[in-house]
Amino acid sequence: MKVILVMVATINGKTTKGNSPGTTDLASIEDQDYFFQTLQDNNLLIMGSKTYEVAKKNMEHTSDRLRIVMTSRPQDYQKDAVAGKLEFNSLSPRVLLESLEKKEFTQAILLGGEKTNTAFLKENLVNEIWLTLEPKIFGKGNDLLSSVELDLNLQLLQSEKLNDAGTLLLKYEVN
């Protein structure tokens, strides 16, 4: 299965500002348009529980899209689960993808956060990284990845300037 990590970050790799849980202080209008179009164009979205907590109020559950929330406590979210639309599990990334391939999914969009991103990258399960780089620097905030040993090589596939401020959309293949 093809896994595409889709994130927005500052020049110094922060995905949120300070204690803010979401990207509203970070993402430009152009990135938000691109991001929501990416969500619309894909039927399998995977995220961590912190990302879910931030996004859940804006989610619309449709029959053509499955959202998977990775959590060590799936039982805490059973009231939120919607069969075939919103599922919670504690499977490893590899086992999760194997189970989704059996359901004939061929591509997943990985929406983070840092623990989920790191777990998939550590198991070499990410094929591409689509990173919007916003021309900002935040001293504090969430990171793109957890602090672990990784050594991955990337190949630039595409770059696009999204606005006059210099927001860049960078698409990489993970080698």
Q: Which domains are assigned to the chain? A: 2-174 (3.40.430.10)
Model confidence band, residue 52 (pLDDT cutoffs 50, 70, 90): very high
**DSSP H or E run through 37:** helix 29-40
Q: What are phi and psi of 97, to 5 degrees?
A: -65, -40
Neighbours of 152 (CB within 10 A): 12
pLDDT of residue 19: 86
pLDDT tens column, 115-161: 999 999 999 999 999 999 999 999 899 888 888 889 999 999 999 99
Residue in this structure with the two tokens 């990775």, named with its chain if needed:
70
Residue closest to 52 by CA, chosen among 120, 112, 141: 112
- Which pLDDT score, from 0 to 100, does residue 146 have? 85
pLDDT for 105 equals 95
* Dihedral of alpha carbons 67, 72, 73, 75, sign: positive
Of 64, 39, 50, 30, nearest to 113 (Cα)? 50
The structure tokens listed for 152 are: 């991955």
Q: What is the pLDDT of residue 60?
A: 83
Cα 146 to chain centroid distance, Å, stands at: 14
Taking 90 as the threshold, does the pLDDT of residue 12 lie above it?
A: yes
Strand partners for 45: 67, 109
pLDDT of residue 32 exceeding 90: yes
What predicted TM-score, i.e. pTM, was given to this entire model? 0.94
Condensed to tens digits (0 to 9), the pLDDT of residues 58-113 reads 888 877 899 999 999 999 999 999 999 999 999 999 999 999 999 999 999 999 88
